[in-house]
């Protein structure tokens, strides 16, 4: 069965520091993977997606993620965090063919210290 695990519920980093948010998935075939960001009281905004090809994908707001099949991971990274990056981040696996169901992790809440 499909599943997504985000091991870190909360992460705190200082502004200007690098960031890595972890995501592990379980999927029977080549996964379609996504990262979303949610600011308080807002909907989810797509940061980036991986379907195939280059395993390092670039997204908006300076984020990138690397797909590692051997580790079943799709970790999100940013070299230098800005205070405005404080939000909740969700990793998701796309719908398996014919199911229409996307599976989301439980999210990682990022706090940025000035």
Partner 1 sequence: SQTIHQWPATLVQPVGSPLSLECTVEGTSNPNLYWYRQAAGRGLQLLFYSVGIGQISSEVPQNLSASRPQDRQFILSSKKLLLSDSGFYLCAWSKPASGDNSPLHFGNGTRLTVT
Complex with partner 1: residue 9 or 17, whichever CB lies closer? 9
CA separation for the pair 57, 50 (Å, rounded): 7
* Contacts of residue 100, Cβ cutoff 8 Å, sequence gap at least 6: none
Indicate whether 43 belongs to the interface with partner 1 (CB under 8 A): yes
Q: Assign residue 14 a region (left: φ > 0; alpha: ψ between -120 and 50; beta: otherwise).
A: beta
Find the largest Cα–Cα distance for the chain.
Answer: 46
Indicate whether 34 belongs to the interface with partner 1 (CB under 8 A): yes
Stretch that binds partner 1, among 17-25, 40-48, 69-77, 78-86 (CB under 8 A): 40-48
Cβ 74 to partner 1, closest distance in Å? 13
Indicate whether 63 belongs to the interface with partner 1 (CB under 8 A): no
Stretch that binds partner 1, among 15-23, 38-46, 64-72, 79-87 (CB under 8 A): 38-46
Q: Are 3 and 103 in contact (CB under 8 A)?
A: yes
Stretch that binds partner 1, among 20-28, 56-64, 78-86, 95-103 (CB under 8 A): 95-103
Which residues are at the interface with partner 1 (CB under 8 A)? Answer: 32, 34, 36, 41-46, 49, 51, 90, 92, 94-95, 97-98, 100-102, 104-107
């Amino acid at each position: 069965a499909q599943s997504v695990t985000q091991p870190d519920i909360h992460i705190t980093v200082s502004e200007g520091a690098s960031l890595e948010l972890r995501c592990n998935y379980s999927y029977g075939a080549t996964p379609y993977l996504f990262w979303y960001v949610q600011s308080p009281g807002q909907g989810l905004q797509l940061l980036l997606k991986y379907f195939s090809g280059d395993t390092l994908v670039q997204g908006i707001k300076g984020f990138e993620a690397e797909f590692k099949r051997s580790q079943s991971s799709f970790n999100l990274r940013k070299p230098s965090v800005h205070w405005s990056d404080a939000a909740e981040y969700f990793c998701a696996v796309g719908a398996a063919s014919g199911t229409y169901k996307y599976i989301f992790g439980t999210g990682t809440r990022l706090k940025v210290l000035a």
